A and B are shown apart, each in its own frame.
Chain A
């Protein structure tokens, strides 16, 4: 089974900051990685699919990169509504795994 390690587990940042979250897969998954945003009491929201493709309706300040085993999610200029938990999901093959999550908090 594919395992995934996400870092950091938490991050403090200010509005306007650029932040990067990383995800490492236990084996090569080509570009089969998705990123989600999750706010308390709400359903997770797809941000990026296939490593670097912006889901429709997602602001362009979100971007993804990487292939093989190492991936990054970047938020270019944090907005107040971006403070949430982010997690990655390799989608190469089932069983699907999820990263442990990165909680992005206001500094």
Chain B
């Protein structure tokens, strides 16, 4: 069964780095017709797409403009997972973070369980 399993801390201090990992089972992070996304949801901003990584003979990334200077999404082929790093966090980064697989037609057809990350001292 294909699954995405998220892991990472639920509490991050302001100005520090938020780090989450999404482990993939039943699929491959290197598959040529998939992309691997991070999305977050907060009451104030609703659902917000953060970025994605994907392999098309080489690795590519796309990032949202709102976080482009602070975000890194990296694949880890040895562990078949991908990660999110968001630097210099503020309380406005408090949200439920989801990883998601993007298949054909840009559909987000598989989601992780979600991780509530609170930015607070």
The interface of chain A, by Cβ under 8 A from chain B, is 1, 32, 34, 36, 41-46, 49-50, 53, 55, 87, 89, 91-92, 94-98, 100-101
Query: Can you list 23 pairs linking A and B with CB atoms under 8 Å apart?
Result: A34-B105, A43-B98, A43-B112, A44-B98, A45-B111, A49-B105, A50-B105, A50-B107, A53-B105, A55-B107, A87-B46, A87-B47, A91-B105, A91-B107, A95-B62, A95-B63, A95-B65, A96-B37, A97-B49, A98-B48, A98-B49, A101-B46, A101-B47
Give the CA-CA distance A43 to B63 in the complex, in Å: 22
Instruction: Decide yes or no: A94 and B49 within 8 Å by CB, A44-B98, A44-B111 being known contacts.
Output: yes
Instruction: Decide yes or no: A100 and B49 within 8 Å by CB, A46-B109, A91-B107 being known contacts.
Output: no
Specify which of B46, B65, B98, B112 lies most central, judged by the most chain A CB atoms within 10 Å of its CB: B46
Query: Would you call B114 an interface residue if the criterion is a C-beta within 8 Å of the partner chain's C-beta atoms?
Result: yes
Q: How many residues of B contact A (CB 8 A)?
A: 20
Our pick among B48, B62, B105, B109 for the contact of A94 (Cβ within 8 Å) is B62
Main secondary structure of the interface of B (DSSP, over half): strand
Main secondary structure of the interface of A (DSSP, over half): loop
Instruction: Decide yes or no: A92 and B106 within 8 Å by CB, A43-B113, A98-B46 being known contacts.
Output: yes
The reply to whether A46 and B107 contact each other, CB–CB distance below 8 Å, is yes
Query: With a CB–CB cut-off of 8 A, which chain B residues contact A36?
Result: 108
Chain B residue at minimal CB-CB distance from A87 = B47
The reply to whether B108 and A34 contact each other, CB–CB distance below 8 Å, is yes
Please encode chain B, from 43 to 73, with 1 for each CB lying within 8 Å of some chain A CB and 0 for all others: 0001111001000000000111100000000
